């Protein structure tokens, strides 16, 4: 028996959905059919891939899932390469740079390619898993995930976000980067642009309030749990009755990066999108 695409899809679906029943529903097959497909793959290699009576993978099973994701992503890229029209899935966590995105979308539209956006808590993970073709990220990557490339497409000025419950800060017109108020700082550990260790040194150890997405960050700052430091785009696009944004004129700029899978190589449509997106980003940065 040869390995077929259905075997790979069964393994990935089981990894993504956690149970045989949910994975079968996602693939549009019955649960016995999904279980039989997994057993066929185990029989083909003479190795246990999923522990009996569960959805827990063995080490061999995890290796199969990892490689299956790459193969399925490559097949999807091939499919897009051979179609006359295409689309690109762009992941983002929060606040697309609007002017850049408008120009990229229009440029790709002229080539009969649609750019579809997906809001994700962890867009980089979606790139790795092949769920999107590319993703924007504002968090600094000291080392990109294996098989992923990234390029800076924009720089953004920073502002301080404070709760109106803190009148001492809320009335300020601006603050200096070296004199960021000694308050707890709310940090979006998944996709935020500022980490605690990137802030200027404080005389005391600064408390950190962690969260995992932009909505949580917004509500924590509004509730007075801590201050936040975000790109200036937030001041213009995110209005919250309990938050005031204060300019930090001398703060170092944050970066907006564009990430994509370089292994396997992107499809022709994705490559065209990347070239356009990077070129327009460079033009905007001067």
- pLDDT tens, 67-117? 999 898 888 777 777 764 688 999 999 999 999 999 999 999 999 899 999
Answer whether residue 201 shows pLDDT above 80: no
Answer whether residue 198 shows pLDDT above 90: no
Nearest to 272 by CA among 69, 126, 114, 97: 114
Same structural domain for residues 106 and 227? no
Q: Of 78, 106, 136, which residue is a domain's last?
A: 78
Same structural domain for residues 144 and 228? no
- Total domain count, the chain: 3
Would you state the pLDDT for residue 263? Answer: 81
Same structural domain for residues 90 and 50? no
For range 267-285, the mean pLDDT: 90
Confidence of residue 202 (pLDDT cuts 50, 70, 90): low
Higher-pLDDT residue of 264, 110? 110
Would you state the pLDDT for residue 35? Answer: 93
Same structural domain for residues 63 and 15? yes
Would you state the pLDDT for residue 77? Answer: 75
Same structural domain for residues 224 and 212? yes
Would you state the pLDDT for residue 138? Answer: 95
HEC readout, the chain: CCCCHHHHHHHHHHHHHCCHHHHHHHHCCCHHHHHHHHHHHHHHHCCCCECCCCCCECHHHHHHHHHHHHHHHHHHHHHHHCCCCEEEEEEECCCCCHHHHHHHHHHHHCCCEEEEEEECCCHHHHHHHCCCCEEEECCCCCCCCCCEEEEEEEEECEEEEEECCCHHHHCCCCCCHHHCCCCCEEEECCCCCCCHHHCCCCCCCCCEEEECCHHHHHHHHHCCCCEEEEECHHHHHCCCCCEEEEECCCCCCEEEEEEEECCCCCCHHHHHHHHHHHHHHHHHHC
- pLDDT tens, 207-223? 999 999 999 999 999 99
Q: Which residues, in sequence order, are bridge partners of residue 244?
A: 162
Same structural domain for residues 109 and 135? yes
Same structural domain for residues 121 and 183? no
Q: What is the mean pLDDT of the chain?
A: 91
Same structural domain for residues 64 and 141? no
Confidence of residue 204 (pLDDT cuts 50, 70, 90): low
Same structural domain for residues 74 and 102? no
Same structural domain for residues 164 and 225? yes
Same structural domain for residues 144 and 273? yes
Q: What is the CATH number of the domain that holds 89?
A: 3.40.190.10
Q: Of 45, 78, 111, which residue is a domain's last?
A: 78
The pair of structure tokens assigned to 278 is 């990077």
Q: Rounded to an integer, what distance in angstroms lies between the CA atom of residue 151 and that of residue 142?
A: 13
Q: Which of 46-60, 68-82, 149-163, 223-237 has the lowest mean pLDDT?
A: 68-82
Sheet of 134-137, strand order: 113-119, 86-92, 134-137, 254-261, 148-156
Q: What is the CATH number of the domain that holds 59?
A: 1.10.10.10
Confidence of residue 205 (pLDDT cuts 50, 70, 90): confident
Same structural domain for residues 63 and 176? no
Range of the domain at 232: 158-252
- pLDDT tens, 223-237? 999 999 999 999 999
Are 100 and 281 a contacting pair, CB within 8 Å? Answer: yes
Q: Of 54, 78, 102, which residue is a domain's last?
A: 78
Q: Which of 34-48, 67-81, 154-168, 267-281 has the lowest mean pLDDT?
A: 67-81
Half-sphere exposure of 271 (CA within 13 A, CB side): 11
The pair of structure tokens assigned to 19 is 């149970």
| Kind of pairing between the strands at 134-137 and 254-261 | antiparallel
């Amino acid at each position: 028996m040869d390995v077929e695409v259905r075997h790979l899809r069964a393994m990935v679906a089981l990894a993504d959905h956690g149970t045989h029943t949910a994975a079968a529903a996602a693939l549009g097959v019955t649960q016995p059919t999904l279980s039989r497909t997994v057993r066929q793959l185990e029989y083909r290699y003479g190795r246990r891939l999923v522990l009996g009576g569960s959805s827990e993978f063995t080490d061999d099973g995890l290796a199969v899932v990892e490689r299956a994701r790459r193969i399925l992503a490559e097949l999807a890229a091939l499919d897009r390469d051979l179609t006359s029209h295409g689309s690109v899935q762009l992941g983002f966590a929060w606040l697309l740079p609007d002017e850049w995105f408008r120009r990229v979308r229009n440029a790709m539209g002229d080539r009969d390619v649609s750019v579809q956006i997906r809001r994700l808590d962890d867009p980089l993970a979606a790139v790795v898993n092949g769920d999107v073709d590319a993703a924007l990220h504002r968090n600094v990557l000291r080392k990109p995930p294996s098989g992923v490339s990234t390029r800076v497409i924009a720089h953004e000025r920073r502002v301080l976000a404070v709760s109106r419950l803190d009148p001492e800060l809320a009335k300020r017109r601006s603050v200096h980067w070296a004199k960021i108020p000694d308050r707890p700082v709310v940090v979006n550990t998944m996709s935020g642009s500022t980490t605690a260790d990137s802030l200027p040194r404080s005389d005391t150890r600064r408390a950190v309030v962690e969260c995992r997405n932009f909505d949580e960050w917004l509500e924590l700052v509004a509730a007075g749990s801590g201050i936040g430091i975000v790109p200036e785009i937030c001041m213009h696009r995110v209005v919250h009755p309990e938050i005031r944004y204060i300019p930090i004129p001398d703060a170092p700029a944050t970066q907006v990066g564009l990430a994509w899978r370089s292994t396997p190589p992107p499809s022709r449509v994705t490559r065209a999108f990347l070239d356009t997106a990077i070129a327009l980003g460079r033009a905007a940065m001067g």
